Amino acid sequence: MELKNIQQHNKSTDAWQILRIQAEFTKGFDKFNELDGPCVSVFGSARTKAGTEWYEEAKLFGKLIASEGFGVITGGGPGIMAAANQGAKEVGGKSIGIGIELPFESGMNEYVDMGVENRYFFTRKVMFLKYSQAFVIFPGGLGTLDELFEALTLAQTGHNIKYPIVLVGKEFWGGLIDWIKGIMIESGRVSEKDLDLFRLVDTATEARDKILEYYENNTNINQPNF
């Protein structure tokens, strides 16, 4: 296909794509406007197997935070996502999934009670950020890093309230944090105060405690403006 024809083809599909994007936002906003009370987004690897250390820790976190009245939002897939949803569901909490259409994931995990599927990653991330009042990040891969740095960037730039962002797994995340300190901060590309945007813990209980501590000290929190 010639370059000119490719350009014309792209223009002809833009209008329909805008409508699909609008429909995806509308569907998500309509669904999650029903949510009552604060929610925590839990990120982590879809490849984490049931019964492993981090699966069980994510499931425990789901139980602990749901028992405190928070809804649990995940990407709706397997691994860490299923674990956190399972924990919330087992104690009767709100278990929510914001899925993405991927060839290697087969829809929502069985523990999601309220969910939507997304075609686009960027609409999915808006849903996470719009409806969450804390973020907990378990060990994961590229998708987890994407979600983590989205939350950090919006907090750093003032586009979202500085809600708690908690990384779970000191050994797993330690190398990344050392790189941020030794390369990014030392070269002046981020400020040392940006390290205050997140907390590093080792257990589900500590992650729960960091979130509760934040809300005990910040009782008047406005919603982000999306």
Question: In three state form, how does the secondary structure of 83-135 look?
Answer: HHHHHHHHCCCCEEEEEECCCCCCCCCCCCCEEEEECCHHHHHHHHHHCCCCE
Residue keyed to tokens 């370059």: 3
Residue 225: what pLDDT? 41
pLDDT band at 132 (very low <50, low <70, confident <90, very high): very high
pLDDT for res 17: 87
pLDDT reading at 10 higher than 70: no
Please state, for a pLDDT cut of 70, what percent of the chain lies above it: 89
74: left (phi over 0), alpha (psi -120 to 50) or beta: beta
Instruction: Answer whether 86's CB lies under 8 Å from 76's CB.
Output: no
Share of the chain above pLDDT 90, in %: 77
Topology of domain 3-217, CATH: Rossmann fold (3.40.50)
| Higher per-residue pLDDT: 195 or 12 | 195
- Model confidence at 143: pLDDT above 60: yes
Q: Looking at residue 12, what is its pLDDT?
A: 62
What is the pTM (predicted TM-score) of this model? 0.89
Q: What is the mean pLDDT of residues 58-83?
A: 97
- Residue 101: band (very low, low, confident or very high) from pLDDT cuts 50, 70, 90: confident
Q: What's the pLDDT at 224?
A: 41
Q: What confidence score (pLDDT) does residue 123 get?
A: 93
Q: How confident is the model at residue 195 (pLDDT cuts 50, 70, 90)?
A: very high
Q: How far apart are alpha carbons 202 and 21 in whole angstroms?
A: 38
